[in-house]
């Protein structure tokens, strides 16, 4: 029988999954459904009930919520009133830090200044725009619901609404994307001066339109060498513009790193609410059902909508903590992990550490293990060495 992990008392994050989109992008593999008024209203009611259920059963055991993140899907397919009612339910149900970071993902075509102002006045203090590209041909090929001009308009609306912490997401490696087109995307994003920029390599997720096109040989994707060049160009341009890289794909002005996402890479825990949401609490990982109907049935019956649960062991969690931590520029602080899991990461992983050190992919500075500049480009390969 797998031993239970010791309960923790440090701060946690909340993730809220809003599973609606006006249009499914061809690269998206997340659980989403088309927006419909009755469907959205029923979901909001269920999410409020799930939130209050966790509060009533003291799932977090009084631990302080330090970050709240609305993801999806497209959270801004909900009205501002619906989003703020969910945020208020979180405040009622849990102990929330007065300085909580509240992030919300938004599609540029789904926001207006008055809407954003209501969110900002209601306590949302970080906005993440899923721009993906500033090239209208790339956006059209990816079936996004917005244009490059709408990205610019959304940033202007966000600034006028009072948002001083703004992220812009980009994707590199889109079909047919050249280095020149990628450079133009980076320049357009930098011209908007967001506090945070993130760029992610395109992943062909099973079941997506891009996956189907790739199987038919209809997708003109950059090769591995081109992808490496695109990544390096992005990293160089953002660094030159004064952004600090703190994770493989994430860059920020000083003081604007996303606290919620940092938690995923530094062995912090979180509770996920909503269909398909994942959680990591007291060493256990569990996921919610990816079905609005089943989610409604379970929540209405006063039951947690859990689909799968993995209790975990100290060694497994240590492996994950090192693998994810090597995605960060700061690296893995071994002393806290040794205390938390009663296992010495340096001793336990001596062989892969020595091998990767010889290959100049990782560096061990006393009690901190970190990826080299080259190692960050191969973060997924580094993770395999520890998992």
Q: What is the pLDDT of residues 80-121, one digit of tens each?
A: 999 999 999 999 999 999 999 999 999 999 899 999 999 999
Looking at residue 71, what DSSP letter applies? E
Cβ atoms within 10 Å of 369's Cβ, excluding its own: 24
Whether 21 is covered by a domain: the verdict is: yes
DSSP-assigned letter for residue 110? G
Same structural domain, 245 and 322: no
Give the CATH number for residue 379.
Answer: 1.10.10.920
In a shared domain, residues 247 and 365: no
Burial of 166: CB neighbours in 10 Å, binned 0-12, 13-18, 19+: buried
236 and 342 share one domain: no
Residue 136 sits in the same domain as residue 198 = yes
Of 234, 265, 296, the residue at which a domain comes to its end is 265
How many distinct structural domains can be found in the chain?
2
Q: In sequence order, what are the beta bridge partners of 102?
A: 68
Decide if 301 is inside a domain: no
Flag whether 25 is in a domain: yes
Is residue 283 a part of any domain in this protein? Answer: no
- Residue 45 belongs to a domain with what CATH number? 3.20.20.70
Say if residue 50 is in the same domain as residue 118: yes
Whether residues 259 and 324 fall in one domain: no
Q: What is the dihedral of CA 104, 105, 108, 113, to 10 degrees?
A: 0
Q: Is residue 380 part of a domain?
A: yes
Domain termination residue (choose one: 249, 265, 281): 265
Contact in structure between 263 and 2 (CB atoms under 8 Å): no
Domain that holds residue 49: 12-265
| pLDDT single digits (tens) 225-241 | 999 999 999 999 999 99
Neighbour-count burial for 68-106, b at 16+ CB within 10 Å, e otherwise: bbbbbbbbbbbebebbbbbbebbeebbebeeebbbbbbb
Of 7, 18, 12, 4, which is closest to residue 47 (Cα–Cα)?
18
24: exposed, middle or buried (Cβ count in 10 Å: 0-12, 13-18, 19+): middle
- Residue 290 domain-assigned (yes or no): no
In a domain, 7, yes or no: no
Of 265, 289, 324, the last residue of a domain is: 265
**pLDDT beyond 70 at 305:** yes
Specify the higher pLDDT residue, 115 or 34: 115
> Exposed, middle or buried, 374 (CB in 10 Å: 0-12/13-18/19+)?
exposed
Residue 216 has pLDDT above 50, yes or no: yes
Who's near 193: CB < 8 A, 6+ residues apart?
A: none
């Amino acid at each position: 029988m797998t031993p239970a992990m010791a309960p923790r008392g440090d701060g946690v994050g909340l993730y809220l999954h809003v599973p609606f989109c006006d249009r499914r992008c061809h690269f998206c593999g997340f659980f989403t459904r088309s927006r419909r008024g009755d469907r959205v209203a029923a979901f909001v009611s269920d999410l409020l009930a799930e939130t209050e259920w966790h509060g009533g059963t003291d799932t977090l055991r009084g631990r302080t919520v330090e970050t709240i993140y609305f993801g999806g899907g497209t959270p801004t397919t909900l009205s501002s009133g619906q989003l703020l009612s969910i945020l208020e339910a979180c405040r009622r149900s849990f102990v929330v830090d007065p300085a909580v970071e509240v992030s919300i993902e938004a599609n540029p075509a789904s926001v207006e200044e008055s809407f954003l102002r209501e969110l900002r006045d209601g306590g949302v203090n970080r906005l993440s725009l899923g721009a993906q590209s500033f090239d209208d041909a790339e956006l059209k090929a990816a079936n996004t619901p917005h244009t490059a001009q709408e990205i610019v308009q959304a940033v202007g609306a966000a600034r006028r609404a009072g948002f001083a912490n703004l992220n812009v997401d980009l994707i590199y490696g889109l079909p047919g994307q050249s280095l020149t087109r990628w450079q133009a995307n980076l320049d357009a994003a930098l011209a908007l001066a967001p506090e945070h920029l993130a760029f992610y390599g395109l992943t062909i997720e099973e079941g997506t339109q891009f996956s189907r096109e790739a199987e038919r040989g209809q997708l003109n994707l950059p090769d591995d060498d081109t992808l490496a060049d695109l990544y390096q160009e992005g990293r160089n341009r953002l660094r030159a513009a004064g952004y600090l890289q703190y994770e493989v794909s994430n860059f920020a002005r000083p003081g604007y790193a996303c606290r919620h996402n940092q938690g995923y890479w530094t062995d912090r825990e979180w509770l996920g609410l909503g269909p398909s949401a994942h959680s990591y609490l007291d060493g256990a990982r569990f996921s919610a059902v990816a079905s609005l109907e089943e989610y409604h049935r379970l929540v209405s019956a006063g039951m947690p909508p859990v689909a799968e649960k993995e209790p975990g062991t100290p060694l497994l969690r240590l492996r994950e903590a090192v693998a994810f931590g090597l995605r960060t520029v700061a690296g893995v602080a071994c002393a806290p992990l040794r205390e938390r899991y009663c296992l010495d990461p340096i001793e336990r992983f001596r062989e892969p550490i020595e091998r990767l050190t010889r290959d100049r992919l990782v560096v061990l500075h006393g009690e901190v293990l970190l990826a080299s500049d080259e190692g960050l480009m191969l973060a997924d390969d580094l993770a395999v060495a520890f998992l």
